[in-house]
Chain A
């Protein structure tokens, strides 16, 4: 049995310091790892990254994160990543990591992802260069996620993104903005590997539960959706510890 805690869209800055900490300090007795699905900060500044590192660092369980769109607002994504890694957080962007828990291997592949939409209303790589760049960004992101997922040898495999891989977990958002909230390409990447669970954020007005076309459970863990410090998901329940 492996238990993972997850949340997204925590948007940490000075004014949030201490709000999550009491719940986070309970994690070692509750979960084996914490996954954070992007939008760690408000504007993606180094100062805000330090706040995130302070609030979510040193917890006694591994913390694995991807960046979100807010974390790129100041064009300091690499510096934000450095601050978080210096604090011991594992930052994924098109790659993966293996964590050991109770003698089992938990594989996590992560990428921010991007938009583009879903079957019936998805963007195509056609026309203006800007449109090709938009779709190409998502294609590259999904390819990296799929490759990372397929490369991990583990007992339980989890995909971590900021953007949504399915439209079901966007229910509650205006349908007009679905193409800015996720892409079917991320779902296709998740379905290309034996993924046990896919976690994402970004859609504050979305719905918690969905599934990919291939049957992988998807959870939207955006903080405004789950309305608590984190959710806890249990994998490999058939194991006897």
Chain B
């Protein structure tokens, strides 16, 4: 049976994202839909994104999640900002 997508569940997952040693992310956003939890934000690698989904699914196997987490680009800049 799918868990109820309420504020308590959101808070529990928010803490899991930060406190779980395999995740340690503070910048992941959660959006509750009727039967779906949407994960947003950006992380440093595809492994970290995949681990977030894996850990949430392991803790809440009946919870439907959609992962919109992106990987932050790490290219050199093309512009300089003049500070005045």
Contact = CB atoms under 8 A, between A and B. Distances in A.
A23 interface: yes
Interface stretch (B3-11, B54-62, B69-77): B69-77
Interface stretch (A96-104, A139-147, A182-190, A228-236): A228-236
A23 B27 contact: no
Given A15-B44, A23-B75, A227-B73, A70 B24 contact: yes
B83 A196 contact: yes
A224 B42 contact: yes
Contacts, number: 76
A73 B26 contact: no
Interface string A200-241: 000011000000000001000001100111111111010000
Contact of A234 (B24, B29, B44, B82): B82
Contacts of B27: 204-205, 224
Interface of B is mostly: loop
Contact of A204 (B42, B47, B48, B79): B42
A16 B80 contact: no
B41 A228 contact: no
Contacts of B84: 237
B83 A43 contact: no
A224 B72 contact: yes
A20 interface: yes
A69 B65 CA distance: 29
Contact of B77 (A15, A19, A224, A232): A232
B81 interface: yes
A210 to B, nearest CB: 13
Contacts of B73: 227-228
B24 to A, nearest CB: 5
Chain B interface residue bracket vs A = 20 to 34
A66 B4 CA distance: 42
A241 to B, nearest CB: 14
A42 B76 CA distance: 22
Nearest to B76: A23
A85 to B, nearest CB: 24
A20 B75 CA distance: 7
B31 interface: no
A19 B44 contact: yes
A42 to B, nearest CB: 5
Closest 8 CB pairs of A and B: A204-B27, A23-B76, A15-B45, A232-B80, A15-B47, A229-B74, A234-B82, A224-B42
Interface of B: 21, 24, 26-27, 29, 41-42, 44-45, 47-48, 72-77, 79-84
30 contacts: A10-B44, A11-B44, A12-B44, A15-B45, A23-B74, A23-B76, A26-B76, A30-B77, A30-B80, A70-B24, A196-B83, A197-B83, A204-B26, A204-B27, A204-B41, A204-B42, A205-B41, A217-B83, A223-B72, A224-B27, A224-B72, A228-B76, A228-B77, A229-B75, A229-B77, A230-B76, A232-B81, A233-B83, A237-B82, A237-B83
